[in-house]
Amino acid sequence: MTNEQKEKIIELRKLGIGYRSIATAMNMSRDKVRNFCKAQGLDGYGKSNMKEEKSIRELCKNCGKIINQKPIKGRPKTYCSKKCKKEWEVKHPILYQHECYYCGKKFESKAKNADFCCHKCYIRDRFWRDEDIETVIKHLRKGTPAPNAPGWIKDLILDRECRESGEKLEESI
């Protein structure tokens, strides 16, 4: 694709013309035109790519200054500097929802993968004590749910119950 063709595609796309119309006019495939437009930030519906709407992408997401966009390959810039990017990330943190593996409490964390709500739950799960096992056994004998039992114990109990109920189902059939 020559520079003249690229300029013509950009001009037609800013006028609101679609990929297929540009491709037939330029004697090219629709996918070539679409990929080029996507790389230039001119993707989406043709009518929405007028110059007024295009100018929004040229402003910094944090401070609103005009971004000095040079014709480069890849993703268009959204921040004017690294400092602005860090400021925006501090103002808008991403929080993930998790459930504690030990106590079952729901909590939020900046980490994408978190298993425990606090260090105390981690220690209790990692270093399980004999007196804790005794309390769980007492609760199981009473038929009440065991509080603060680690997740692996709960999983073992569920697996055992599933196997027992599966055996009972097979016997009844």
Verify that 47 and 113 share a domain, yes or no: no
Q: Coil, strand, or helix at residue 109?
A: strand
pLDDT at 126 over 90: no
pLDDT of residue 72: 66
Q: Has residue 72 been placed in a domain? A: no
Give dist(CA 103, CA 118) in Å, integer.
10
C-alpha dihedral, 50 to 55 to 57 to 61, nearest 10°: -150
Verify that 55 and 85 share a domain, yes or no: yes
Q: In this predicted model, what pLDDT tens digit does every residue of 32-91 receive, in sequence order?
A: 999 998 888 887 766 555 554 455 567 788 887 878 776 667 777 888 889 999 998 898
Q: Has residue 48 been placed in a domain? A: yes
How many domains is the chain built from? 2
Q: What is the pTM of this model?
A: 0.40
Domain stops at, among 29, 57, 91: 91
pLDDT at 172 over 50: no
Q: Has residue 161 been placed in a domain? A: yes
Residue ranges making up the domain that contains 156: 97-172
pLDDT of residue 27: 82
More confident residue, 168 or 83: 83
* Lookup: tokens for 130: 């004999």
Residue in this structure with the two tokens 């399980």, named with its chain if needed: 128
Q: In this predicted model, what pLDDT tens digit does every residue of 113-124 receive, in sequence order?
A: 999 999 988 988
Verify that 62 and 104 share a domain, yes or no: no
Q: Has residue 75 been placed in a domain? A: no
Helix, strand, coil % in the chain, rounded to nearest 5: 55, 5, 40
Query: With bands split at pLDDT 50, 70 and 90, how would you rate the model's confidence at 169?
Result: very low
Q: Has residue 7 been placed in a domain? A: yes
Q: Has residue 117 been placed in a domain? A: yes
Verify that 108 and 154 share a domain, yes or no: yes
Verify that 55 and 111 share a domain, yes or no: no
pLDDT of residue 141: 74
